[in-house]
Structure 1
């Protein structure tokens, strides 16, 4: 079970944990605590200043109470006006200084907390960007966002509230107790006896408010759930189509009334809580006046009115720190629970990354004459193992591989050289599974020659997309290997590999920005001429030019302002702008009508001929344009060859042709005519 921090109505229940929190409280070891403190280490100077400010503030906040006693005894009772003015002036200066130091303390604690969370948030974002693809398919997106935002933001509570509260309250309590003992030991003991009378009702009333607030939060979650479901675009459409407006309105009103009743109970409980607090807070001073007056009148002539007044003030200053320190354990556990959730993500293995001695093939791009990538920033020779790998790759590839190192950190996505059209791919007994109990790919072996176009066909669930996703290493093979120009993909620099490959997927994703922004994502320094040329090739330029804002038109959230076909063509233009050596189309034209598809097919035909290309095929036109067809079924390669050979020799392909492709038999000619 995953630990979640309960925050009823956006606030933590003071002094109380939910059952889930109690069951999943973090184990705080010295190693864990050291790891938490490591985030404060870069700011140790500011931390020292903050601790100094806390100490000074705690001390100065007690001085006005002492000066109050002297004002009463020396100024008022002693009827010394000059002394009265002097003591009042001292009190004002002390109060002003304490407040200014309090501002400095608040600034320092917030400064440290903000910088800690900035460091943590940046590190988390970089880490999440490197996480494997299956991390995002197996984890709830809302949970990922929560850990990036509210969990890391909650860490600020550790510095701005929890840590400073422990230090400040401990110092205030200790100094107040010492000052009371110095003034009068009997009165100090009376004050200590009174404190439990203040704490007990606070705990009981706090528990009741916590229970009411928790129930109100659960009801509010249900109300928000109704709003999210029924007021979304899809939800509203469903409500209208099934005439459920009245039912949904009644459901919303019912939960809203429940929420109103709970909020009223919680508010009144809060009012009674304040009454109890006020009553019991008055008991202590009254007892001190009673006991102090008795001592002053009958037993201790040295005890003055000012001394008794000071004791009452000190007792009031002890109430808050005692209650806070009693509850601080809960705040501390919640704070550490946030760190536990954050560290859980930090500790997850990146899994797919460039190897320590990654290979950067030479002779495979424009102006790229060296190869190999070392983790250091200096040029070094590769290890013997890496050299052997490079030599083996050179013998099986059309490109040479040198042993000169090139640091990964220096790679720039806008200037990276790309392989030439001579790239070839070899799938050698490839096996893959998302989990050990359900194999997806089994013993897949075939070759894609340089500049060759291969169509991959098969029924739904055959493993076509899974096979394609292995090429940019969204997943790694479990057995066998995939080689690019003779080099295992796992030995190549990951940035280089993904620059080499361009994929247009069936599920087109566009960022919520302009058309230009989405295109520039492929090549940040692209010129307007390059943007327009890529869009012409994808048959989308004329549409963009017709828009009022042209290339600066907003596409909307996930591109909702564009039709499915328009999004597909824009996605194709983005990949063409990237200009990769290997083109992969994962049913990329499935959202297009026949005319648009034929125009795009005609436009990208020269590009496909000059590049190694793989296409997951769903239309006959795609199959007929391929140099080779690979047939897959239940994760296995069952046949490969030309269209006519497969029709004559493979029953599955013949069935696919009869059920999916034959209806388009006469379309290529018509589409060619339309394109002309």
Structure 2
């Protein structure tokens, strides 16, 4: 199982590294060059020392000094190129991963998103991938370069002094072996560290989003208490993760101390016996110090590996999530307004608590249905099922005679539009927000639609018209204006079936009356489903459906139900108590 998991991890990484294989090859070439220069420079200094000690000429010393400077400059330039290319490879690969994670999350069903806060998802998509990015940025450079440098140092030392080379080799092998054995010691703790950070970001996002409620209800002390507890969890788990991640480094430091002591004792002994010169003694010392650098870099990369592996495991776990909403194969619907049929539809968010029970009704193309019922009766759930935000427990929904389970999602969304109670506006111009960044929609079409909704004068009053910038979240608009924008956005798409969920809940009576006229015009060539609390919103619908406790209590012609004193709808009209619907 472990080997299979490693194989899958390797294949998963190769998938993202393959597009940058050319840059990786160039990176290897540059690595060999810079490593070679690191090995050559100490030898130039050795020759300089031996030449000076042997009363060499000034000209030769100047040549060696100039050579050393040239090699040092070239080495620095190659080092910059290696660092740049390593970072480039890192960001190219991990940005593709970020894109895949975001696209995958956007395709997951609402049951998944209901369990996750936006702050947690930001940490999963960006925070985890950043740890992978930091690992990739220097992993190839540091690990491969370190091994090449180690091989070069040890190879050269075996040509100079076998006992010293043997001590260096033993130190290297023991250090690498220790890091391989304990490389995963901090992975689990790093994973918990990332989870604690995700929980903290989720808390911050949630509380900032609800800042009005927090301040208005005096909940700041409670929020701060939650924040401090989350911060404590981040600190404790982060400290434990760091302490476990530095274990490999501490082991290599201890081994290096022993190795340097042994090498220097052997080197000084050889010098005292006249077996090596002063320059060679320097070279042995310098190579011993250089031997520690790649070992330290490997230790650092083991720490980065533990953080990166945690990020990779969490990213793979996120990518392994599967949506309940499976795409169908039918890619088209009949032209014009679409019929709508609910046949024995049952649904629940939790299996032990049914939300809809055996809902059955039908609409002919072009008809309008008004849905009323108390809060929690299941009205909004009907629209969510229609848009396939959730799967049915049982039953069938047909649009234009086609089972929505057999439709591709793009085919469904092209022909069905919905305005929800929560309006989402984006950081962009008025035009961008109305067209959802679709440049093919003309300004003439936009103005025609917003004129019908009564927004024309408001648009013209803006300093830059359709080019006026909106801030993210729509804070520059009132709630009513934002709702009108959402309506205009849907109608611009010219859907054949339109679902309006509380379309006038944020509007005053005068604006609602104006809006109703525009909605009637825009819905002339489409089938409509209007979910409402206020009965005045439903004066132009053809049929009425009353739901309660997830059941269909009443369905029929609006005029017939209004004329029948025994109907739920007639009693509501007669009583005039619209608050009963709240």
Match of 2:491 in 1: 576
SS of alignment partner, residue 352 of structure 1: coil
1:644, CA displacement in angstroms?
Answer: 6.6
After superposition, what is the alpha-carbon deviation per residue over 1:475-512, rounded to whole angstroms, capped at 9, x for unaligned? 23232211122111222332222121221222222112
In the superposition, relative to structure 1, how do residues 352 and 47 fare at CA in structure 2: closer, same or farther (>3 Å)? same
Match of 1:138 in 2: 115
Aligned residue pairs, count: 553
The one of 522, 529, 532 aligned to 1:614: 529
In the superposition, relative to structure 1, how do residues 284 and 536 fare at CA in structure 2: closer, same or farther (>3 Å)? same
Contact map agreement 2:546 2:552 (CA 8 A) in 1: yes
Contact map agreement 1:26 1:333 (CA 8 A) in 2: no
Counterpart check, 1:117 vs 2:94 = yes
Counterpart check, 1:597 vs 2:569 = no
SS of alignment partner, residue 29 of structure 1: helix
Counterpart check, 1:308 vs 2:252 = no
Contact map agreement 1:430 1:441 (CA 8 A) in 2: yes
Q: Distance in 2 between matches of 1:125 and 1:663?
A: 42
Match of 1:274 in 2: none
Contact map agreement 1:426 1:484 (CA 8 A) in 2: yes
SS of alignment partner, residue 63 of structure 2: helix
SS of alignment partner, residue 39 of structure 1: helix
- State the TM-score, normalizing by the size of structure 2: 0.81
Q: Distance in 2 between matches of 1:218 and 1:616?
A: 40
Match of 2:68 in 1: 91
In the superposition, relative to structure 1, how do residues 608 and 197 fare at CA in structure 2: closer, same or farther (>3 Å)? closer
SS of alignment partner, residue 557 of structure 1: coil
1:530-545 map, 5 Å: 530-545=445-460
Q: Distance in 2 between matches of 1:342 and 1:446?
A: 43
Counterpart check, 1:625 vs 2:540 = yes
Match of 1:352 in 2: 325
Greater CA drift, 51-60 or 566-575: 51-60
Contact map agreement 2:341 2:398 (CA 8 A) in 1: yes
1:61, CA displacement in angstroms?
Answer: 0.4
Larger RCO, structure (CA 8 Å, separation 6 or more):
2
Contact map agreement 2:452 2:521 (CA 8 A) in 1: no
**Which blocks of at least 5 consecutive residues in structure 1 are unaligned?**
1-24, 200-216, 260-276, 365-419, 665-676
1:487-502 map, 5 Å: 487-502=402-417
1:311-322 map, 5 Å: 311-322=284-295
Q: Distance in 1 between matches of 2:200 and 2:117?
A: 22
- State the TM-score, normalizing by the size of structure 1: 0.71
RMSD, aligned CA: 4.4
1:661, CA displacement in angstroms?
Answer: 4.1
In the superposition, relative to structure 1, how do residues 624 and 361 fare at CA in structure 2: closer, same or farther (>3 Å)? closer
SS of alignment partner, residue 427 of structure 2: coil
SS of alignment partner, residue 469 of structure 2: coil
Q: Distance in 2 between matches of 1:240 and 1:443?
A: 42
Contact map agreement 2:479 2:506 (CA 8 A) in 1: yes
Counterpart check, 1:361 vs 2:336 = no
In the superposition, relative to structure 1, how do residues 338 and 194 fare at CA in structure 2: closer, same or farther (>3 Å)? closer
Q: Distance in 2 between matches of 1:43 and 1:603?
A: 54
1:591, CA displacement in angstroms?
Answer: 0.8
The one of 344, 347, 363 aligned to 1:429: 344
Contact map agreement 1:75 1:83 (CA 8 A) in 2: no
Greater CA drift, 590-599 or 150-159: 150-159
Q: Distance in 1 between matches of 2:38 and 2:508?
A: 77
